[in-house]
Amino acid sequence: MIKILLVDDHAVVRMGLTMLLNNHPKMQVIGEASEGNEGIQKALKLKPNVVVMDLSMPHGKDGLSATSELKKLMPEVNILILTMHDDEEYLFRAVKAGASGCILKSAPHDELMSAIESVALGDAYLHPAATKRLMEEYLASTKHGNNDTFNLLSDREKEVLTLVAKGYANKEIAEQLIISVKTVETHKGNLMEKLQMKTRPELVEYALKKGLLGYGM
């Protein structure tokens, strides 16, 4: 069961999401908060698997600040940013703050549930259009050569890193590369060790900076 904490300043939104997610056989909303500070306190108390965090909350701590603070206090928690801003600047800032993913408030319900499942498993999630824009943005701004750490990666590890950056879950990566989920997890672990990174959002940011859209995946 995926235990979910909802942080959104609109009570009607929280009520609708609670009804939707509680109808999923593997999800349970265990708490709600109306702003970031309350969300942090609820998370520390309730220990959710996933925090669905609204980006814009004018009263109290905003979603980005709350995400950054909560990740310092609970590094193991997975945070999915819920936003109405389809803008690469907001998306990048969310990843930098430690969010495992971003999804638009206008996204279909099944996409929201898929995103929650992905981040609950420790995978990154960005909707495809956002991923493409972020990759293009970084590719345009980082035209320099690969560094030594990148050259430490095997071809298979680069393939896995590319798919992680595109937001694919472990199972989807395994299917595309015709390997087991356990092997995918092993490659991700090796990536983190070689690149000296501790979180999946760091891997996403690194892959975007490297412009891995050009690897033909």
Per-residue pLDDT of 75-117, as tens digits, reads 999 999 998 876 666 677 788 888 988 888 888 999 899 999 9
- Write out pLDDT tens, residues 36-81: 999 999 999 999 999 999 988 878 888 989 999 999 999 999 999 9
Scanning 23-127, the segments in alpha helix (DSSP H) are 36-46, 63-73, 88-97, 109-120
Q: Domains of the chain by range and CATH?
A: 2-122 (3.40.50.2300), 133-215 (1.10.10.10)
Is 70 exceeded by the pLDDT of residue 142? no
Report the predicted TM-score, pTM, of the whole model to 2 decimal places.
0.62
Phi, psi of 81 (to 5 degrees): -80, 130
**Are the C-beta atoms of residues 61 and 68 closer than 8 Å to each other?**
no
> Tokens 């999946």 appear where?
200
What pLDDT score does 129 carry?
A: 58
Non-local CB neighbours of 197 within 8 Å, separated by 6+ positions: 191, 203, 206
More confident: 73 or 188:
73
More confident: 203 or 97:
97
Is 70 exceeded by the pLDDT of residue 130? no
| Most confident region among 38-42, 135-139, 147-151, 180-184 by mean pLDDT | 38-42
Mean pLDDT of 126-147: 54
What CA–CA distances, in Å, run from 94 to 56, 131, 149, 216?
12, 13, 25, 27
